[in-house]
Structure 1
Amino acid sequence: MIYNFRLKNSDLVEFNSEHCKITISKNQGAPEELTLARAESRILELLLMEPGAICSREAILEFAWDDRVVSAGSLNQSIFMLRNILGDGKDHEIVITVPRRGYRFNSDQVVGHSEAASAPVAEPLETSTPSAIAPAASPDSRQGIGTAVRCGYLAAAVLAGLSIWRLIAWYEPISELHIAVIQQGELSISAVGKSEHDVNKLKTDVANLNFPTENIKGQVFISRKGSRMNMSCIRTTGRTYNFEFQHQDKQLIDMLKKCVGA
């Protein structure tokens, strides 16, 4: 089954659920093709079957892992991975959390097949041969073509302007993430990075923390970009919390407690 939707920066996405592949047609540059893990692909497929409808966590677990039983933590991690791939890691405006109920796909992002088919596609330039002589276009047709081109450039400029402020955020579609889980009692911390080096550095920072004696519960995902940290939490109430901060100015343990609501 083929599904089409747009990212927050207006890039068009074609999702092939049968082959677990998404193709991102960028406003500028060549299309990017990514292969999803089976769980993320099944979750995305279920959410896109009926955009806007709420899928319970139980229904997602049963559909995405129909061949085995997994914990709720596996679902949390797959949702986190899927959001990062779709550039939805910060605002959660595409894959929306419905507290205590489950998740839903933002139907406003869904694109109909007719709109997807009419999207401009880059075509290779044709080389002319001596025997192929193109007929001269009439003045009226040349004027029509020029107007269409100008309208296309104007539309592209408007889309680019609307997208710039989105690109300033953490979003950067990636095909692979490295994750290491650190368990501290009832607190699960997942260090996320683009390389093993990034993940190991985060693991060291977490391992050096002096955790308080009182229990801190929940699930936390931490990633770093330069000197800034991004922290996403799933509290024991089922609610999610997400923020970023300057690591040098804030104590990591204090941010962890704030994130999980301890």
Structure 2
Amino acid sequence: MIYNFRLKNSDLVEFNSEHCKIIIRKQHAAPEELTLARAESRILELLLMEPGAICSREAILEFAWDDRVVSAGSLNQSIFMLRNILGDGKDHEIVITVPRRGYRFNSDQVVAHSETAAASVEEPLQASMPSTIAPTASPDSRQGMGMAARFGYLAAAVLTVLSIWRLVAWYEPVSELHVAVIKQGKLSISAVGKSEQEVNKLKSDISGLVLPEESIKGQVFISRKGSRVNMSCIRTTGRTFNFEFQLQDEQLVNMLKKCVSE
């Protein structure tokens, strides 16, 4: 099944649920193709079957993991990953949390298939339009045109390489995310990073914290880039909270308290 919707930056997305693939058609760049993990693909498929309708956590768990039983933490982690892929990690305007009930896909983002098809053929049609003016060129000008064509081919090759590099660079953080879970009383903290070393360093920093176990409860996802920390929380009420901060400016313990406090 093919589904079409827009990201918050207005880029068009074509989602093929059968092959677990999405194609992002950017407005001023080459399209990008990404293969989703099975769980994220199944969740996105279920939400898009009826955009705007609320899907309970139980229904999502049963649909996304129909081959095995998993914990609620697996769903939280997959929603976290899916939102990051869709550029929805901060505001949650595409995959919307409905407190104590589940999740729904923002129906305002859904578009008709014809709109995506029109966008995909617009540039090829423009490129294939023949020129109505064919001036006669002298031998010298034809030689100059040959040089221009060679430079054009070279530029096209460079752009192709850059496009592939951008796709790989964008895809790697998603396909190679590492996660380590730290339990402290009723608080579950997931350290997320691009490499095992990065996650282990973050896990070490978190494990060394002294937290008042009786007052800090919920689920937290933490990732770090340099001194910049991103923290996403699911509170015991089901509400979510997300923010970024400079590690040297804020105490990690205080930010954890702020993140999960009611």
Question: If the length of structure 2 is used for normalisation, what is the TM-score?
Answer: 0.78
**Structure 1 residues 140-169: Cα deviation after superposition (integer angstroms, max 9, x where no partner):** xxxxxxxxxxxxxxxxxxxxxxxxxxxxxx
Q: CA RMSD in A?
A: 2.2
Q: Which amino acid aligns with 1:175?
A: V
**Residues 190, 222 of structure 2: 8 Å contact kept:** yes
Q: Which residue of structure 1 aligns with residue 124 of structure 2? A: 123
Q: How many residues align?
A: 222
Superposed CA deviations along residues 85-139 of structure 1, whole A, max 9, x for unmatched, are 1110000000000111110001111110111111144439989xxxxxx6847xx
2:102 partner amino acid: G
| Amino acid paired to 1:94 | I
Deviation (angstroms), 1:183 = 1.5
Q: Is the 8 A contact 1:2 1:15 kept in 2?
A: yes
Question: What amino acid does structure 2 have at the position aligned with 1:186?
Answer: K
Aligned to 2:217: 217
- Give the unaligned 5+ runs of structure 1: 128-133, 138-171
Aligned partner of 2:174 in structure 1 is 175
Q: Is the 8 A contact 1:13 1:25 kept in 2?
A: yes
**Are the equivalent residues in 1 in contact too, given 2:95–2:104 (CA < 8 A)?**
yes
C-alpha displacement of 1:251: 0.8
Counterpart for residue 142 of structure 2 = none
**C-alpha distance 120-185 of structure 1, shift in aligned 2 (>3 A):** same
Aligned to 2:105: 105
- Structure 2 residue identity aligned to 1:123: P
Separation in 1 of the partners of 2:53 and 2:125?
A: 41
Three-state SS of the structure 2 residue aligned to 1:224 is: strand
Kept in 2, the 8 Å contact 1:20–1:41? The answer is: yes
Match in the other structure for 1:52: 52
Q: Judging changes above 3 Å, is the alpha-carbon distance between structure 1 residues 26 and 186 closer, same or farther for their aligned structure 2 residues?
A: same
* Alpha-carbon spacing, 1:59–1:246, altered in 2? closer, same or farther (3 Å): same
> 2:206 is matched with which residue?
206
Kindly provide the CA deviation profile for residues 219-247 of structure 1, in whole angstroms up to 9, marking residues without a partner as x.
Answer: 10011233221111111111111122121
* CA offset digits 1:162-209 (Å, max 9, x no partner): xxxxxxxxxx77532221111112211111122323222211210221
Which residue pairs with 2:165 in the alignment?
none
Aligned residues: percent identity? 80
What does residue 154 of structure 2 align with? Answer: none
Larger proportion of helix: 2
Q: Choose between structure 1 and 2 for higher RCO, CA contacts under 8 A separated by at least 6 residues.
A: 1
Q: Which amino acid aligns with 2:28?
A: Q
Gaps of 5+ in 2: 134-169
Q: Distance in 2 between matches of 1:58 and 1:126?
A: 49
CA distance in 1 between partners of 2:53 and 2:88 (Å):
18
1:194/1:124 Cα in 2 relative to 1: closer, same or farther (>3 Å)?
Answer: farther
Correspondence 1:234 to 2:238:
no
TM-score scaled by length of structure 1: 0.78
Task: State the 1:29 CA deviation.
Answer: 2.2
Letter in 1 for 2:45: E
User: Residues 214 and 108 (structure 1 numbering): CA distance in 2 closer, same or farther, change over 3 Å?
Assistant: same
| Aligned partners of 1:5 and 1:111 also within 8 Å | yes
Cα pair distance change 1:249/1:108, threshold 3 Å:
same
> What secondary structure sits across from 1:244 in the alignment?
strand
